[in-house]
Structure 1
Amino acid sequence: MEKTISIEIEDNGCGIYEEDLPYIKEKFYKGKNSKSNSGLGLSICDEIIKLHEGSMEIKSRLNQGTKVIVSIPIKGVEGQ
């Protein structure tokens, strides 16, 4: 079984519309609740996490908040 490290980040903000969730990791996508962002942040994060063979899961409920779970496998250092 592969060991992983998981980081959970949760807020109690306005949440993300359910119809936006499938697209929020796409470059330049801005959901209904986005005010002035470029639409690049989650896309860049997702690419970096994938480079480390990890995953990012996003769960959100409107008017309740959002939870982001980042999981990355723990790899041993070569030679040890």
Structure 2
Amino acid sequence: GKFESDLIPIVDALHKTVHELFPNEQPALLHGDLWSGNYMFTKSGDACIYDPAVYYGHREMDLAMTRLFGGFSSDFYE
């Protein structure tokens, strides 16, 4: 999508205060595209995730992405 220029000051201000908003959160290495279409089980039954779009971000971002795109069974979140 198009990034409107009037958002630049807002994003800049958020960038400057993000550490104040989340003082105890360290960036975590994330899969980046975790959803039900990017996992499978091997013949031996081991879980395998693939097709990463790796980046550093909030530690719960991958979990949020799974919810956004349909989620997994409740066992996944236990």
Q: Name the TM tier (shorter chain).
A: under 0.3
Max radius of gyration: which structure? Answer: 2
- How high is the TM-score relative to the length of structure 2? 0.22
The structure in which a higher percent of residues are helix is: 2
The structure in which a higher percent of residues are strand is: 1
Higher relative contact order (CA 8 A, sep 6+): 1
